A and B are shown apart, each in its own frame.
Chain A
Amino acid sequence: DVKVTQSSRYLVKRTGEKVFLECVQDMDHENMFWYRQDPGLGLRLIYFSYDVKMKEKGDIPEGYSVSREKKERFSLILESASTNQTSMYLCASSSGQERPEAFFGQGTRLTVV
């Protein structure tokens, strides 16, 4: 079974803090993704990575950065957290081959106060 593990289920951070969300997958997948989920808006792509040290912006990259130093790990960084970044964050990975089905982590509910 593919396993995608996010480091925290719940986080509470203060405005202006630097926040790290970590994601690890154990299936040697090339692609990794960070999505944000908000009520009524579905899942929106923040950043994705198709190889180590490679990254591309998604639909809503503002206020975020990412790091992929190892194939299995993809980190999302909030440089200076703001209240409008309170959300559910979901990490996913896929094999990048003919059937790029994405497998999701359990999610991190981040609250910025």
Chain B
Amino acid sequence: ELKVEQNPLFLSMQEGKNYTIYCNYSTTSDRLYWYRQDPGKSLESLFVLLSNGAVKQEGRLMASLDTKARLSTLHITAAVHDLSATYFCAVVPPQGAQKLVFGQGTRLTINP
């Protein structure tokens, strides 16, 4: 059974600082997704990572995938308050239906 774990689950940081959210998963997969959720809102797709070594960047967020280590990272550079949200990673199992298995989410709070 595929399990996805994120850490940390809660992160409070100051504006201008850098930090990394980690996503580990338990079985082989070459498809990993990052989503953002604002309070009371739905999930917004951020990144789709499809192969080992894939790196995607959008503004102050950068995501990478290491399929051998079964690890993805979401790196935040020079954080700003607008990035405060909950971030989820999700993985597609290696075979069978196209469902996504989610991590628990990381609640990120960025303080001015």
Contact = CB atoms under 8 A, between A and B. Distances in A.
Nearest to B89: A42
A90 B103 contact: no
B42 A107 contact: yes
B42 A101 contact: no
A33 B9 CA distance: 25
Interface stretch (A14-22, A64-72, A92-100): A92-100
A50 B97 contact: yes
Contacts of B88: 42-43
Contacts, number: 58
B50 interface: yes
A58 interface: yes
A31 B98 CA distance: 8
A53 to B, nearest CB: 15
Interface size class of B (residues with CB under 8 A): 20 to 34
A99 B97 contact: no
A63 to B, nearest CB: 19
Contact of A45 (B42, B45, B99, B104): B99
B42 A105 contact: yes
Given A42-B104, A42-B105, A50 B42 contact: no
A10 to B, nearest CB: 10
B54 interface: no
A102 interface: yes
Interface string B82-112: 0000001010100001111111110000000
Of A41, A94, A101, chain B has the most CB atoms within 10 Å of the CB of A101
10 contacts: A33-B99, A35-B102, A43-B43, A45-B100, A56-B97, A94-B98, A99-B31, A99-B50, A102-B90, A106-B42
Q: What are the 9 tightest A-B residue pairs by CB atom distance, in nearest-first order?
A: A100-B98, A43-B102, A42-B104, A104-B43, A104-B42, A42-B102, A106-B42, A107-B42, A96-B98
A53 B28 CA distance: 30
Contacts of A96: 98
Contacts of A74: none
Contact of B43 (A31, A44, A90): A90
